[in-house]
Amino acid sequence: MAINQRLGQKRGVAASLVEIAQVQLSLAKPDAALAAYNDALKIRREIGAKKDSGDTLIDIGNLYLERGQPDLALQNFKESLQIQRDSGDEAYQALCLNNIANAYAEKGENEDALTYLQQALQIREKLNLSADIADTLRNLGVTYTALGQYDSAMTSLMRGLELFRKGG
């Protein structure tokens, strides 16, 4: 009982730290947010909360991406992807793949971004996640545009637009 209570307390502390990080971001204090996220991640790893660790890695990756540090973002997104693959959570795998693609696009490595977006799209279509499919198609359109592949860009963008209009 005491062990479970301590685990629950640590889970609560980690969840609170994530919420604090989000408030710090709202206050335009990214360094404080990063510190809170890292503290939460440390606790989540200590208690073996892999899914929560993966979520926190995504948050940290997004923060690094917003700060213009795509290499650090990639590191966190790829670690989260491995956790999601180990757990079998395909929806989160697709989210990680999409985030990895965004980081590669930020670096100007659009061919790599395209590869990860195509993987994300394949999973999202398999799971029939309409809104996520539409979002990935939009990202594909932007990436194809950056690569000068305008026909593919229009195809992806129009297909995504159709899904968004259907409420997906």
Per-residue pLDDT at 90 exceeds 70:
yes
Are the C-beta atoms of residues 159 and 123 closer than 8 Å to each other?
A: no
Q: Determine the pLDDT at residue 1.
A: 40
Q: Quick one: residue 104, left, alpha or beta (phi over 0 = left, psi -120 to 50 = alpha)?
A: alpha
* Cα-trace Rg, the chain: 18
Q: Determine the pLDDT at residue 167.
A: 81
Tokens for 153? 């860009």
DSSP state of 49: -
Cβ-count burial 128-155 (b if 16+ within 10 Å, e if not): ebeebbbbbbbbbbbbbbeeebeebbee
C-alpha distances in Å from residue 140, one per residue of 86, 87, 130: 26, 27, 15
Per-residue pLDDT at 3 exceeds 70:
no
Specify the amino acid at residue 112. Answer: D
Per-residue pLDDT at 2 exceeds 60:
no
d(CA 20, CA 22): 5
Instruction: List, for residues 129-161, the tens digit of each pLDDT value.
Output: 999 999 999 999 999 999 999 999 999 999 999
Per-residue pLDDT at 7 exceeds 80:
no
Q: φ and ψ at 112, to 5 degrees?
A: -65, -40
